[in-house]
């Protein structure tokens, strides 16, 4: 005969993981309840019930607030099953968090907060990983103001370190996102690449497309997305080069693909066939971002110092 503890464990083991019936991408700013009512064939009370029972995720975080403000490019997910829990991957880790966001803040005022994101951390939240920069910034802001929230202006790859900027106001975010590519004036990176460059400066231009394995590749097909990368070798030794990169376009994996195209893969980039990893991480760092600030129509600039592992390699 089974004891009570064993029966309880059996019931827990049979619980299905949370699935999602609906996933939506936000096209314009608004409020959560009104958006859900416009998309789902449920009554207002039923939608409020979804919110109160932790069934709605915004950018991977459970949201219960019906007047929660939404921004362009936010992602909404609604849980299919009725468990009164959030996605297990998004539960807080049982162990004490060791990441201290304050140590990574580059700049903060009433309009913006800029972070020097460490390598290995996602920019936005995910169903499969508990840790993300968005999560930490959200928690940081809501400690002092429960209604506050970050509005992400851009993102960088998980394994890339460097500047990421959040707006604190939904209207400011909307103004910037509406003409983001035109507003951005400088997108500067540093890359550690394999080998010694014959040409110390250059410009790489191609049209990027994505294959079935989610890998980007260069093409002459104008149906792809135009990508323009300018580079300058800053330092080099007999094995590696430290390269300053300015991109005219912000395409997925742009720098990594273009460096591969010229035979100087970014170190640690197994995805694009790098075979060397002298620093134990991807050798790519977002060092500077300048854009026109709609508040005063002046250029605002954010910079993140080169990681020590980058500079140490060329001492």
Question: What is the predicted pLDDT for the residue at 183?
Answer: 94
Catalytic site positions: 157
**Weakly modelled stretches of the chain, pLDDT under 50:** 1-15, 81-97
Write the pLDDT tens digit of every residue in 95-124.
334 689 999 999 999 999 999 999 999 998
> Which top CATH class is 92-315?
alpha beta
Q: Where are the alpha helices (DSSP H) in the chain?
A: 4-14, 32-39, 44-52, 133-144, 170-178, 180-183, 254-261, 308-312
Closest-CA residue to 65 (of 73, 54, 74): 54
Domain with CATH 3.30.2350.10 in the chain: 92-315
Work out the number of other CB atoms within 10 angstroms of the CB of residue 206. Answer: 21
pLDDT at 254 (0 to 100) = 97
As annotated, the residues of the chain forming the CATH 3.10.290.10 domain(s) are 7-90
Query: pLDDT value at position 1?
Result: 43
Nearest to 289 by CA among 115, 125, 101: 115
| pLDDT of 19 | 61
Element at 184 (helix H, strand E): strand 184-194
pLDDT at 7: 46
Tens-place pLDDT, residues 186-201:
999 999 999 999 999 9
**What letter does residue 279 receive in the DSSP assignment?**
T
Gap between the Cα atoms of 242 and 130, Å rounded: 33
Q: pLDDT (tens digit, 9 = 90+) per residue, 206-253? A: 999 999 888 999 999 999 999 999 999 999 999 999 999 999 999 999
pLDDT recorded at residue 61: 82
Overall pTM surpassing 0.75 (yes/no): no
User: Which pLDDT value is given to residue 143?
Assistant: 93
Residue 158: how many other CB atoms lie within 10 Å: 17
Question: Which of these CATH numbers, 3.10.290.10, 3.10.310.30, 3.40.1190.10, 3.40.309.10, describes 7-90?
Answer: 3.10.290.10
Alpha-carbon distances, residue 41 vs 35, 38, 44, 104, 231 (angstroms): 12, 8, 10, 43, 52
């Amino acid at each position: 005969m089974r004891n009570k503890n064993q029966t309880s464990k059996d019931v827990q083991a049979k619980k299905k993981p949370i699935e999602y019936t609906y996933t939506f991408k936000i096209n314009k700013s608004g409020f959560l309840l009104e958006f859900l009512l416009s998309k789902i064939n449920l009554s207002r009370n039923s939608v409020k019930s979804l919110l109160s029972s932790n069934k709605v995720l915004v950018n991977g975080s459970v949201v219960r607030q019906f007047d929660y403000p939404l921004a362009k490019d936010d992602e909404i997910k609604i849980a299919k099953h009725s468990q009164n829990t959030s996605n297990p991957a998004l539960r807080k880790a049982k162990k004490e968090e060791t990441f201290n966001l304050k140590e990574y803040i580059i700049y903060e005022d009433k309009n913006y907060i800029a972070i020097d994101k460490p390598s290995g951390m996602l920019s936005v939240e995910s169903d499969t990983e508990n840790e993300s920069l968005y999560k930490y910034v959200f928690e940081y802001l809501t400690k002092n103001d429960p209604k506050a929230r970050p509005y992400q202006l851009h993102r960088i790859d998980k394994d890339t370190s460097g500047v990421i900027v959040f707006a604190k106001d939904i209207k400011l975010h909307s103004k910037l996102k509406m003409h983001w590519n035109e507003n951005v004036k400088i997108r500067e990176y540093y890359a550690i690449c394999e080998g010694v460059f014959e040409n110390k400066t250059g410009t790489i231009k191609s049209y990027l497309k994505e294959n079935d394995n989610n890998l980007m590749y260069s093409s002459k097909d104008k149906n792809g997305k135009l990508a323009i990368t300018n580079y300058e070798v800053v330092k080099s030794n007999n094995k590696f080069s430290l390269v300053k990169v300015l991109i005219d376009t912000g395409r997925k994996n742009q720098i990594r693909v273009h460096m591969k195209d010229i035979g100087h893969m970014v170190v640690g980039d197994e995805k694009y066939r790098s075979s060397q990893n002298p620093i134990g991480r991807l050798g790519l760092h977002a060092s500077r971002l300048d854009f026109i600030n709609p508040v005063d129509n002046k250029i605002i600039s954010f910079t993140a110092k080169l990681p020590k592992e980058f500079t140490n390699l060329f001492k």
